[in-house]
Amino acid sequence: MKAVVVHGPGDVRVEERPDPSPGRDEVLVAMEWGGICGSDISYAQHGSSGTAVLRHPLVLGHEVAGRIAVLGAGVSAYGVGDAVTVHPASPSSEPLPGLVAGRTNLHREVRYFGSAAFSPHEDGGFSSYRVVRADQLRALPAGLSTRVAALAEPLAVALHAVGRLGEVRGQTVFVNGAGSIGALVVAALKARGAARVLCADVNANALTMASALGADELFDAREALPTDCASVVEASGVSAALGGVLRATARGGTVVQVGNLPMAPTPSVLADLVSREITWTGSYRFVDEITEAVALLAGGLDVTALIAAEYDLSDAAAALAAAASTAGKVLLRLS
């Protein structure tokens, strides 16, 4: 089979690897589509993503969908040919403390497709085939293509961030940053019943994408931001933007931070966090919102405006370069 493997900064190769075989309670998925994430780009450019550093070659990709090719022993809930997407997380079996009970994304060790956070690394799904545990599969309802289902994982990230806000039905919410996750946060807010969604970015193409996914009012972040927003999602991950976002937040309001912030110290103006008694809440990956994401996509939630380009697996290096310079989502054809 072919696989997209990163060996170090600027060193991405499409390699031939032996076809894997599923064990008990596993299946072999013939991968069809994959979405390129910021972490894939970071591994390709820098050999790291956040605190995760490459120690050996890694197959990239955690936003994937395909069809079951082989059933392992003990798997009866699925059949060969079934279309599926994948929950890419494998939390440790260590019991969670009461403070975070049920939040499996907060285990101290969560192995994740295409992640170098632990050694040995957890290979991803940018390959012709991938063995997957049956409990990680999410069946695709009739009518939901594997191409669109490759977006279920980032939509789940967006749904989790919206959930961290609490009840949004009937509310006005401000989303700062209209990249892939920010635009999907807009779509998730609308799907959860938000009455009005405001969105800001410095990129006109990103704002157009956010509008297509449901944003009601757009702001050029270089010129002005909305004011007195009780509920805010910060999706840009730009430290310099935090001061303006906090100033846009109402006294006593809530900001959910889903945009990944830099690991290195960077200047930010945070005074309003104190003087306005703002609640600043983090949002990390998701628990099981990918199940809701599949249901929403199957039910007609149209996020295809997010797709900026499509490349064949053999052109993975070019796809990663394109993904680094576009606001939308670049897809890989894996079959």
The predicted-structure confidence for 310-323, as pLDDT tens digits, reads as follows 999 999 999 999 99
Structure-token match 């050996």, residue found: 56
**What does the alpha-carbon distance between residue 45 and residue 12 come to, in Å, rounded to a whole number?**
9
- What would the mean pLDDT of 138-152 be, rounded to a whole number? 98
The percent of residues in the chain predicted with pLDDT above 70, rounded, is 100
The pLDDT mean for the chain works out to 97
pLDDT higher than threshold 90 for residue 218 = yes
Q: How do beta strands 249-257 and 229-234 pair? A: parallel
Is residue 210 predicted with pLDDT exceeding 90? yes
Measured CA to CA, the distance from residue 11 to residue 174 in angstroms comes to 38
pTM of the model: 0.98
Kindly indicate the confidence band of residue 263, based on its pLDDT and cuts at 50, 70 and 90: confident
Helix ranges (H only) for the chain are 38-46, 146-149, 152-165, 180-191, 204-212, 242-248, 271-275, 289-298, 316-323
Mean pLDDT of 19-29: 98
From the list 73, 63, 204, the residue with the least C-alpha distance to 138 is: 63
C-alpha 249, offset from chain centre: 25
Question: Sorting pLDDT into bands at 50, 70 and 90, what band is 23?
Answer: very high
* 172-176 and 229-234 strand pairing: parallel
The torsion region of residue 217 among left (phi > 0), alpha (psi -120 to 50) and beta comes to beta
Residue 45: per-residue pLDDT: 97
**For position 316, what pLDDT does the model report?**
98
pLDDT of residue 38: 96
User: With 90 as the cut, is the pLDDT of residue 92 above it?
Assistant: yes
Residue 91's pLDDT band, with cuts at 50, 70 and 90, is very high
pLDDT higher than 90, residue 128: yes
Chain position carrying tokens 């395909």: 66
Q: What does the pLDDT read at residue 4?
A: 98
